[in-house]
Amino acid sequence: MSARRARAVHVLLHLVVVSLGLDIQDLDPLGTPGSGTRQDEPSPAVDRGLHVAVLMGPPSGGAVDLRFRVRPLSGKLIAALRFGAQTVQVLIRRETPADVPAVSIVTAAAFAKPETPLPVEVALLDELRTCGAWLPELSLVALSDKGEVVGHVVCTRGHVGTAPALGLGPLSVHPDHQNRGVGLALVHTVLGAADALGEPFVALLGSAAYYSRYGFRTSTDYGITAPDPSWGEYFQVRTLSAYDPALRGVFTYAEPFERV
């Protein structure tokens, strides 16, 4: 393996490893498990820097075998999610312009209610894509083994005062593909990508019971206040490697969140 290829593999592996809650020093330059792997953290199974696997226990009980296959130099991740005897394989990659219509359909299906057949999240995504807070490298889609877009996640630029940070959402998975780990793969991957880009933290509004599995905690634990204090424990933060505890104050989402 050339030095350039080895470096590319290691960078991509770092993205995945960080997203799984491990430290990069737990891997040697070839991506094999090192002596630094802690027993209380997910344990990686790596083959020459190309595969990472982690065994997790979902709240519903049972084991989820989440495997990422890294395609060197492409930035694509394949997540194979196994629930008992069932295996679901999805490809996680950056959104392209050709994906936008399918992402809108998935978002509408994921958030639709009888009284709101066209959810506000669809318009929100359209507005976010045209504002300065849009970060193309953090808009990711999940593709089924048939090449269909079945999920989407995005992080956009937010701030605490003048300090940059990230806001996660919307996160959507088509109803036909929910409860199969697609959202799990999307969130882990976007967190890893955000960390690799040197972002300090990711904030979101959502269920504490659900998002705590990704390491999110109530924002006030870090001295970060929600845009609306009434959100309480539902406004959460996941700190990343570049986080500075001195970063405190009110979090501000990208402007479209305020008016859509």
The residue to which tokens 């799990």 are assigned: 184
CA separation, residue 258 to residues 91, 228, 254, 255 (Å): 32, 11, 8, 6
Closest listed residue to residue 42, CA positions, set 29, 55, 25:
55
Q: Counting beta carbons within 10 angstroms of the beta carbon of residue 76, is it exposed (0 to 12), middle (13 to 18) or buried (19 or more)?
A: middle
For residue 233, is it within any domain? yes
Same domain, 105 and 136: yes
CA within 13 Å, CB half, 38: 8
- Which helix (H) or strand (E) segment holds residue 125: the answer is helix 120-129
DSSP-derived pairing of the beta strands 201-205 and 163-173: parallel
Give residue-wise pLDDT tens across range 84-99.
445 567 899 999 999 9
Decide if 118 contacts 109 (C-beta within 8 A). no
Tell me which amino acid residue 83 is. Answer: F
Decide if 64 contacts 83 (C-beta within 8 A). yes
What CATH number did the domain enclosing 214 receive? 3.40.630.30
Q: Is pLDDT of 1 > 60? A: no
Per the prediction, the chain carries an average pLDDT of 76
Q: Is pLDDT of 61 > 70? A: no
Paired tokens of 88 = 């679901």
Closest listed residue to residue 126, CA positions, set 1, 244, 257:
257
For residue 218, is it within any domain? yes
Residue spans of beta strands (DSSP E) within 127-248: 139-143, 149-160, 163-173, 201-205, 217-218, 224-225, 235-239
Q: Is pLDDT of 215 > 60? A: yes
pLDDT level of residue 41 (50, 70, 90 thresholds) = very low
* pLDDT given at position 144: 92
Q: Is pLDDT of 135 > 50? A: yes
Same domain, 152 and 39: no
Same domain, 44 and 107: no
Segments forming the whole domain that contains residue 233 = 92-259
Domain count, the chain: 2
pLDDT level of residue 14 (50, 70, 90 thresholds) = very low
Decide if 249 contacts 160 (C-beta within 8 A). yes
Same domain, 123 and 152: yes
H helix runs in 167-225, sequence order = 182-196, 208-211
Give residue-wise pLDDT tens across range 87-130.
567 899 999 999 999 999 999 999 999 888 789 999 999 999 99
For residue 174, is it within any domain? yes
For residue 157, is it within any domain? yes
Same domain, 138 and 30: no
d(C-alpha 71, C-alpha 75), whole Å: 7
Decide if 70 contacts 16 (C-beta within 8 A). yes
